[in-house]
Chains A and B, each alone.
Chain A
């Protein structure tokens, strides 16, 4: 209650800080925007952690596995050792692991998936017990059958030669990393600008800002700049992650990658601004943002190549900003393409961003 009785100390009313320069407002807006994002754990998670988790999960799921060894049970009997001998002399011996066990153990192990195949040899010949509904069981039967026949002296009438190939640059993870990067730039552009703006409008903060001498262009510029700063971190994180964890080879120059990243970030910033130009409630803008992004998640080749869609759709798909961004990022990162070779894709991004900005500024509501 003490404050009730004591009037606040009067400070010198004429005491003003040094006169603010032209860019003081912009600098503070940018600083505060970055601080706010940094203090929002959800933003950190969705922008930085989530893409890495996605890359890690998908990278592990689709990783190149070491050559599989087929586990085979050989039922103990007089001829069991003959089978083992044959397998050991076959060219495929490295990929087959055979154990001699009694019939019950073989039966149980087969049922539980411990063995893919049960082999019994008697006077009549070799008996395979396999499960046609289990692909690895089918494979094991063929593999062991070939191994035994070859070891027993089968001659193949047609010579064939195979080369194993899993080069960096052509793996799924190599395809995935630039796609995730593009998707991330879209997500954070749309949410980071679109959602943030409507939230500020709903809180009447935009209206409060325009009641000050703040330049409206400074405000929008600061929002876009904050996106560019985040873009740098997003690109660096995903690329470094890809290189360190999955040995992705970055062929293109860092400058080209960053330039295309910046273009993508600004372009989606424009689309986000347009999406948010009139919405009053965060619920309605959330729906709009998802509506805008949904087609691109599906069609723009984030997780799989859009070439799988029917040919008639391809021109429309290539006109989507995320498609252009993903294609340009893949070309530069994976093939070391030059910027000039990506002009058409850059043009798509510039047009989407430019048109969105112009329309957004025309329709934008501050209150």
Chain B
């Protein structure tokens, strides 16, 4: 498969002070859905805006569909569909008028009616943009990108602030686009979104990629499959060493009296865990096991949670 997006040694320094992106390499294949994942301020938006040709990098090279922004900017613009974070489209234009406007900028746009239909916006076609709900506005933002009839779709935080139903609608739209061999690059700070939607993700922290790969592969490689979480009653604490010695435990993490064990096979670990609790004359206040997620990958790599809010 040909490479759709490629960048090497990407760096961006704002006003000579803030280093937003510090040496980033990416290679995204045609037809792939690729996610840039990271906490707020990690450099996701800066990265995607450099790739979109909206920001000038301080250093590094970018190649999109075999072209560069320096020499083929106009040609590239025809091939990309872009949805920025927080664009407020004109409130007093209707949905259809907004799409007609964006379609008029491209030499070979998609039909406005087809895009309206695909994004389930037909019923709102003649409503003013100002009257749309948050989810509908976000779909319209993606529609302005799709009406370009693009080969690559760039989505910056497409589902931030949306309700679960609207988020799932947007995921469907992205999958439909991908089915037609479209390439998608999106940023998100939602783990579940990245896990469900992306073929591959790059986890970014402080302007660097700290892990890259398919979500399932990252989870397996970095966390084991499962997380066992427990707490002792009365908030009792105990030496972490006694837990890490249990069978199948890869690592232990304690936070406010809550212990998280990364394990391969919960059925091996849990009986031993119960025996150990008894041996310490303690009692369990809480015990759960769950599938490991990208969130755990991030915690494992940085010691912090993705969303500190």
Contacts and interface: CB of A to CB of B under 8 A. Distances in A.
Interface string B278-299: 0000000000000000000000
Given A8-B118, A212-B106, A13 B97 contact: no
B110 A8 contact: no
B118 A210 contact: no
A359 interface: no
Contacts of B128: 39
Interface of B: 52-54, 74, 77-78, 80, 82, 84, 86-90, 92-93, 97, 100-112, 114-115, 117-120, 128, 144, 148-149, 165, 168-169, 172-173, 175-176, 179-180
27 contacts: A1-B165, A3-B165, A7-B175, A8-B120, A8-B169, A9-B118, A10-B179, A11-B114, A16-B149, A17-B112, A19-B108, A20-B103, A20-B104, A20-B106, A20-B107, A24-B105, A28-B100, A28-B101, A35-B93, A204-B84, A204-B86, A207-B54, A207-B87, A211-B52, A212-B77, A212-B106, A367-B54
A208 interface: yes
Contacts of B105: 20, 24-25, 209, 212-214
B100 to A, nearest CB: 6
A20 to B, nearest CB: 6
B111 A205 contact: no
A203 B88 contact: yes
A210 B54 CA distance: 8
A8 B107 contact: no
A213 B165 contact: no
Given A27-B104, A36-B92, A205-B87, A8 B109 contact: no
A355 B126 CA distance: 42
Contacts of A210: 54
A67 to B, nearest CB: 52
Contacts, number: 119
A250 to B, nearest CB: 35
A12 B149 CA distance: 11
A4 interface: yes
Given A4-B168, A8-B120, A25-B104, 11 more contacts: A11-B114, A13-B180, A24-B104, A32-B90, A32-B93, A36-B92, A36-B93, A208-B89, A211-B53, A212-B102, A213-B106
Given A8-B173, A19-B108, A211 B77 contact: yes
A205 B89 contact: yes
Interface of A: 1, 3-4, 7-13, 15-17, 19-20, 24-25, 27-29, 32, 35-36, 39-40, 203-205, 207-214, 367
A213 B118 contact: no
A19 B175 CA distance: 27
Contacts of B149: 13, 16
A29 B101 CA distance: 7
Given A3-B120, A20-B106, A27-B104, A207 B84 contact: yes
Closest 10 CB pairs of A and B: A28-B104, A203-B88, A11-B114, A213-B77, A214-B105, A39-B92, A212-B105, A211-B82, A24-B104, A208-B87
